[in-house]
A = this chain, B = another copy of it.
Amino acid sequence: MAEVISAIQAVDVRFPTSLTLDGSDAMNPEPDYSAAYVTIRTSGGEEGYGLAFTVGRGNDVQVAAVRALVPLVVGMPVAEALSDLGAFSRRLTGDSQLRWLGPDKGAIHMAAAAIVNAAWDLRARREDKPVWRLLAEMPPEELVDLVDFRYLREALTRDEALEILRRAEPGRAARQAELLESGYPAYTTTPGWLGYTPEKLAALSAEAVKDGFTQIKLKVGADLDEDIRRLRLAREVVGPGIRIAIDANQAWGVGQAIEWLRPLAEFDPYWIEEPTSPDDVLGHAAIRRAVAPIKVATGEHTHNAVMFKQLLQADAIDILQLDASRVAGVTENIAILLLAAKFGVPVCPHAGGVGLCEMVQHLAMFDFVAVSGTRQDRVIEYVDHLHEHFVDPVRIKAGRYMAPLAPGIGARLHPESVSRHQFPDGQAWREASAVVA
């Protein structure tokens, strides 16, 4: 009998990060980093792991959204599912009733991401490869077949995508060797959370430089005078040679963003991230025209490839920050990487949270080896929280992500981390309640 997808389990896992203000920014004062943690099981006893990241309350809704998708793919032959993960992804995002909750956005789309990434994880484990290498060794035709061009064609045709991949093919082996040798550049957001004191900001900024990072990121947007002080302090500590990105987490309107950035310009911020509503393509374009040479970056809340297409068509961004679990996982991210390559915009993935670093590095590395073919001006976000809960945590050396060697996408949590942080009954939450009470 053919091996089938026999079950998909979703668990509500939350980490009480709000107790230390890790992750605090202008729009997220007290996040509890969380995941709808997904395990795909096959009738042959294999497993694949994925997750959708959230910041606390609502993670139960995210789990409910995953569970609503489960019946669409349970029972599918594993060979059918894994040999065409494009069709598998469309089955999850295209259900005629469930898509009403999106379409292609919000909790139901992130639920698809968790399952799609778990399926990619399963496939990579069966082929005994990390996902970046699985992708980087696929024939261009197979990669292009994964892309749903329906809403993208006027910006990127199948032939153009194929041409991009074919152009990169001759150098794949050499770049794979380079990647294994020297990794992929990272930047760190660890020093810059809004909830941190100036002393902590200064100490962590200095430490980041000492650790080999050439870019750090500060959160801004809650208080202008405070932003000036913090940015001045950080610039003094790291010196002129280190890039400092700033991140407003959607705090401003279009005109306000332009005004707010004027007095910050003297500290030479490298990019302004999420200056306004993530939905505002035309607003980002207006801000970009006004604040150059400060670059405009966005993407962690950009909900699908159609939105990224427009950000690129409208010349609205200098930096594309894709996320591993906001859009529908690896499959949709392949389309986004191809769009970015077509438009010549560097991809600097969003990470942090829980498991986002572990997953998203695969996409950046695939991009280097087989799509854009370069690491120039590309960096993956890095935050040094919660990696200890993963079976295959990221490895950072001298400010660079080392290429993961373990098979899969990296989202697998230690079973004891899952049970300890299960919400609301895990031991960590019983202890957190005791602290608060």
The one of B28, B29, B254, B309 in contact with A154, judged by C-beta atoms closer than 8 angstroms, is B254
**Which residues of chain B are within 8 angstroms of A398 by Cβ–Cβ distance?**
none
| Listed residue (A30, A68, A97, A154) with the most chain B CB atoms within 10 angstroms of its CB | A97
A98 touches B279 (CB 8 A): no
The reply to whether B105 and A56 contact each other, CB–CB distance below 8 Å, is: no
Kindly name the residue among A99, A107, A149 whose own CB sees the greatest number of chain B CB atoms within 10 A: A107
Residue A253, interface by CB 8 Å: yes
CB of A331 within 8 Å of the partner chain: no
B106–A101 CB distance below 8 A: yes
**Partner among B27, B109, B252, B306 whose Cβ is within 8 Å of the Cβ of A280:** B306
> Is A286 among interface residues, defined by CB-CB distance under 8 A?
yes
B29, B107, B254, B313: the one contacting A101 at CB < 8 Å is B107
Q: Does A276 contact B (CB under 8 A)?
A: yes
Residues in B whose Cβ lies below 8 Å from that of A100: 28, 54-56, 58
Q: A100-B55, A107-B106 are in contact. Are A282 and B301 (CB under 8 A)?
A: no
Q: Is A108 an interface residue (CB 8 A)?
A: yes
A287 to chain B, nearest CB (A): 10
The interface centre, meaning the residue of A55, A105, A278 with most chain B CB atoms within 10 A of its CB, is A105
Contact call B283/A154, Cβ cutoff below 8 A: yes
User: How near does chain B come to A25, taking the closest CB pair, in angstroms?
Assistant: 9
Contacts of A254 in B (CB 8 A): 151, 153-154
User: Which of A98, A100, A153, A276 is the most central at the interface, judged by chain B CB atoms within 10 Å of its CB?
Assistant: A100
User: A22: CB under 8 A from chain B?
Assistant: no
Residues of B within 8 A of A414 (CB): none
Q: Which of the residues B95, B103, B278, B301 comes within 8 Å of A278, measured between beta carbons?
A: B103
Residues of B within 8 A of A230 (CB): none
CB distance from A211 to the nearest CB of B (A): 29
Question: A2-19 vs B: 1/0 string, CB under 8 Å?
Answer: 000000000000000000
Chain A window 93-136, contacts with chain B (Cβ cutoff 8 Å), 1 for yes, 0 for no: 00111111111111111100000000000000000000000000
Partner-contacting stretch, out of A59-67, A196-204, A343-351: A59-67
| Distance in Å: Cβ of A94 to nearest Cβ of chain B | 9
> How close is A376's CB to chain B, nearest CB, in angstroms?
28
Which of chain B's residues have a CB closer than 8 A to the CB of A277?
Answer: 103-104, 151, 306
Look across to chain B and name the residue whose beta carbon is closest to the beta carbon of A258: B154
Measured in the bound complex, the distance between the Cα atoms of B157 and A255 in whole Å is: 11
**Which residues of chain B come closer than 8 Å to A28, judged between CB atoms?**
96-97, 100
Report yes or no: B61 in contact with A57, Cβ–Cβ below 8 A. Answer: no
Q: Give the Cβ gap from A109 to chain B, nearest Cβ, in Å.
A: 7
Q: Are B61 and A151 in contact (CB under 8 A)?
A: no
* Contact (Cβ within 8 A) B253 A99: no
Give the complex CA separation of A273 and B374 in angstroms: 42
Contacts of A417 in B (CB 8 A): none
Nearest-CB distance from A99 to chain B (Å)? 7
Question: In whole angstroms, what is the CA distance A207 to B303 when docked?
Answer: 43
Query: Which among B58, B104, B282 is the interface contact of A310 at CB below 8 angstroms?
Result: B282
Asked if residues A279 and B105 are in contact (CB atoms below 8 Å), the reply is: yes
- A419 at interface, CB cutoff 8 A: no
Beyond A57-B95, A61-B65, A102-B106, whether A307 also contacts B279 by CB under 8 A is: yes
Given known A64-B61, A106-B106, contact A276–B96 (CB-CB < 8 A): no
Chain B CB within 8 A of A42 CB: no
Would you give 11 A-B contacts (Cβ < 8 Å), ordered by A? Answer: A30-B97, A31-B96, A58-B108, A60-B64, A62-B101, A64-B64, A103-B250, A151-B253, A154-B286, A279-B306, A280-B309
Query: What 7 A-B pairs are tightest by C-beta distance, nearest first?
Result: A106-B106, A57-B97, A56-B97, A64-B64, A58-B98, A151-B277, A279-B306
Residues of A within 8 A of B (CB): 27-32, 54-58, 60-62, 64-65, 68, 95-110, 149-154, 250, 252-256, 276-283, 286, 301, 303-304, 306-307, 309-310, 313-314
